[in-house]
Amino acid sequence: MIPRYTTPEMAQIWSDEARYENWFRVELAALIALENQKEIPAGVGQKLKHEAQKINWKNLANRALEIENTTRHDVIAFLSALEEVLGEDSRWLHLGLTSSDVVDTAFAYSLQKSALQIGQRLTALTKILFEQAQKYKHTVCLARTHGQAAEPTTFGLKLLSFAVEMQRNEERLQAAIREIAHGKLSGAVGNYGNIDPRIEEAVMLELGLVPEVVSTQVVPRDRHAIFFGTLAVIAGGLERLAVEIRHLMRSEVAEAFEPFGKGQRGSSAMPHKKNPILTENVTGLARLIRSYAMAAYENQALWHERDISHSSVERVIAPDATAVLDFALLRMTQVMSGLEVDAENMQKHLDATQGLIFSESILLMLAKKGILRQTAYEWVQRAAMNAREGQGDFLSNLKKDTEIKKVLAAKDIDEALDVKHHLRHIDAIFDRVKR
């Protein structure tokens, strides 16, 4: 991913030097396990571990890439570069292993690490959303369905919906981490032809991973599909939140705004503009993450015990998807932390409906008085549509309607148009949310 959308933390996780260091971590863990099984001379593991502390991993990465220009094989190039700095004892590395044992296990390690970074961002955003939901718990605003005025709600309840979704996403991410945290050291076709399964168990324990129950040359890619699919679901939640803020920031709505810093410019041509660039950016980034998930789904079907059609895909989507989601989460946290809310405009839009948003209350009141639902619907719709066309206001139309006033007294209609009726369960909804 380009630096613009990559945080320093995620850049480090997916750097070349981190990749080679993780490969060595797998190789060394396997070597030490073999040493413990007395299959190689005692003391080699500690010696190599000590020597590896002197390695400049950035320099080694550059050397490995240089060698790869000749070998056309990244793991062989890596092992060759290690031999140059570790000397004769490096011959004990990679015993009984195939390249995918190292690469897939280190890949799982990096994915797990990147997911933990994303988890921290997600937790921070969830916390802010709950705080803002509580702050605006009783700030009345207009709910909209199909982009049209619907009924009264509160801005806090709107935000609570997003907070709880992010809470679910925290759970989904933890499940995805468990899914992806599988490595393998089972050899070229997954049958442990040249390595003992106990070596695999020891290595996975050292790395905080789980041995794949049945592997081929690689860890099955359904695990990766689940992982990247989960990232896409989280991104979809961010986009839902971003789109809500974008709509509320429109000039004709102007109910909530992403932060606009001192000295910030909205348009190169129009000085009056305050464009929702942060949330628009998140919307675009969510599209990218969904595309990466689709690529991961395509990677599931490999030939026989393995081909490398998935490899080039994962080299792109793993750093990109995790970096983009990490960045998007940070951005939305900044947006929600600095969110500006115009409660007066919210009330203004409620008042502008002239009571139309209480039409269901009137409908239900008529039904409870014994009027057939479809008949009641026609009566209320008639009063509402006349009001929308400028023929009186909704309240007056209801009170003077010949058929309605036979059933409902004026005070009944006034009670039905009380906003408190619609908001009486807000506290109960908040109370049933578990934190």
Query: What pLDDT digit, counting tens, does each position of 164-195 carry?
Result: 999 999 999 999 999 999 999 999 999 999 99
Distance of CA 222 to the CA centre of its chain: 19
Please tell me the predicted confidence (pLDDT) of residue 368: 92
Query: What pLDDT digit, counting tens, does each position of 112-123 carry?
Result: 999 999 999 999
Query: What pLDDT digit, counting tens, does each position of 313-364 carry?
Result: 999 999 999 999 999 999 999 999 999 999 999 999 999 998 899 999 999 9
Please tell me the predicted confidence (pLDDT) of residue 188: 95
Task: List phi, psi (to 5°) of 367.
Answer: -60, -40
CA atoms of 303 and 218, how far apart (whole Å): 11
Indicate which residue of 146, 251, 268, 272 is catalytic: 146
Q: Are strands 182-183 and 210-211 parallel, antiparallel or unpaired?
A: parallel
Please tell me the predicted confidence (pLDDT) of residue 270: 83
Indicate which residue of 73, 138, 267, 309 is catalytic: 267
Mean of per-residue pLDDT scores for the chain: 95
Residue with tokens 């008085």: 369
- Residue 421 known to be catalytic: no
- Residue 100 known to be catalytic: no
What are the residue ranges of CATH 1.10.40.30 in the chain? 356-416
Cβ-based neighbours of 73, under 8 Å, separated by 6 or more: 99
pLDDT band at 1 (very low <50, low <70, confident <90, very high): confident
- CATH 1.10.275.10 assigned to domain 1-95? The reply is yes
First to last CA, the chain: 34
Nearest to 330 by CA among 30, 24, 43, 9: 9
CA atoms of 100 and 98, how far apart (whole Å): 6
- CATH 1.20.200.10 assigned to domain 98-346? The reply is yes
Q: Which amino acid is at 24?
A: F
CA atoms of 368 and 363, how far apart (whole Å): 9
How many CA atoms are closer than 13 Å to the CA of 302, on its beta-carbon side? Answer: 20
What are the residue ranges of CATH 1.20.200.10 in the chain? 98-346
Domain 356-416: give its CATH code: 1.10.40.30
Sign of CA dihedral 317, 319, 321, 324: negative
pLDDT of 272 over the 90 cut:
no
Please tell me the predicted confidence (pLDDT) of residue 265: 82
Please count the residues of the chain. Answer: 435
Query: What pLDDT digit, counting tens, does each position of 373-388 carry?
Result: 999 999 999 999 999 8
Please tell me the predicted confidence (pLDDT) of residue 307: 96
